């Protein structure tokens, strides 16, 4: 299923709080991370388990479940993706972080990479790409292209709010990559903001402007 809109009551409640115009930077950051945690929970439901024998509390051997050695990299897209990173790492503390930064060339309108630093053995990792807003989808598609060029085969996208235009662009370019979002909003306005959206997520996370 390429698009997964997470209807869990806690997700919807926290997203509702996040949309409040007068929210403080502190609260916005906390909620963005909490939603990052909840989306991670949803996006990892198919992770495989293996049996593992351990010493139980009374000295007997017991068999418990452990994650089956899955290697994960979290890929925040600068800068707003950083606002979900701690929340994702809360559930996946051993994950390596691969950072990507892109800007849009105003002449060609194409995304240009200005920073990339990928975790080792990236081709063997499950990549969780995080960005609060999936707007036009241009930077997301460029990031997914990069990850596939590096050999990544298991990629998942986690966003707080998605626009139909961005979902269409990502699913057309990468129909194999699932998107997990707290909301599929109405549309993009002329300035490229998602409506109703959250406003500029980067500014809200970093307290700028």
Residue 63 annotated as binding site: no
The C-alpha atoms of residue 36 and residue 96 are separated, in whole angstroms, by 16
**Stretch of 8-16, 67-75, 121-129, 199-207 lying at the interface with ligand URA (CB under 6 A):** 199-207
Minimum CB distance to ligand URA smaller for 43 or for 134: 134
Residue (119 or 194) nearer to ligand URA, CB: 194
For position 193 contacting ligand URA by CB under 6 A, the verdict is: yes
Is 80 annotated for ligand binding? no
Which of 199, 70, 178 shows the shortest CA–CA distance to 132? 199
Contact flag: residue 202 with ligand URA (CB under 6 A): yes
b/e 86-117 (16+ beta carbons within 10 angstroms → b): ebbbebbeebbbbbbbbeeeeeeeebeeeeee
- State in angstroms the smallest separation of the CB of 197 from ligand URA: 4
Which positions from 117 through 136 interact with ligand URA, judged by CB under 6 A?
Answer: 133, 135
Residue 11 or 77 with smaller CB distance to ligand URA: 77
| Closest approach of ligand URA to the CB of residue 2, in Å | 20
The residue within the footprint of ligand URA, chosen from 88, 146, 201, 205 (CB under 6 A), is 201
State the residues that interact with ligand URA by CB under 6 A.
Answer: 80, 133, 135, 192-194, 197, 200-202
């Amino acid at each position: 299923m390429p698009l997964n809109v997470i209807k869990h009551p806690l997700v919807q409640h926290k997203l509702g709080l996040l949309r409040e115009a007068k929210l403080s930077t502190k609260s916005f950051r906390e909620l963005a991370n909490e939603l990052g945690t909840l989306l991670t929970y949803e996006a990892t439901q198919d992770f495989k388990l293996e049996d593992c024998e351990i010493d139980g509390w009374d000295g007997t051997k017991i068999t418990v479940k452990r994650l089956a050695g899955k290697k994960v990299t979290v890929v925040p897209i600068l800068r707003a993706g950083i606002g979900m990173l701690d929340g994702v790492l809360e559930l996946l503390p051993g994950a390596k972080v691969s950072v990507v930064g892109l800007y849009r060339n105003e002449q060609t309108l194409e995304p240009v990479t200005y920073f990339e630093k990928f975790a080792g053995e990236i081709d063997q990792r499950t990549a969780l790409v995080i960005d609060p807003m999936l707007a036009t989808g241009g930077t997301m598609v460029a990031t997914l292209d990069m990850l596939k060029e590096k050999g990544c085969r298991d990629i998942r996208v986690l966003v707080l709010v998605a626009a139909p235009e961005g979902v269409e662009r990502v699913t057309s370019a990468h129909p194999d990559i699932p998107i997990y979002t707290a909301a599929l909003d109405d549309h993009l306005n002329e300035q490229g903001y998602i409506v109703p959206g959250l406003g500029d997520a980067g500014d809200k996370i970093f307290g700028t402007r």
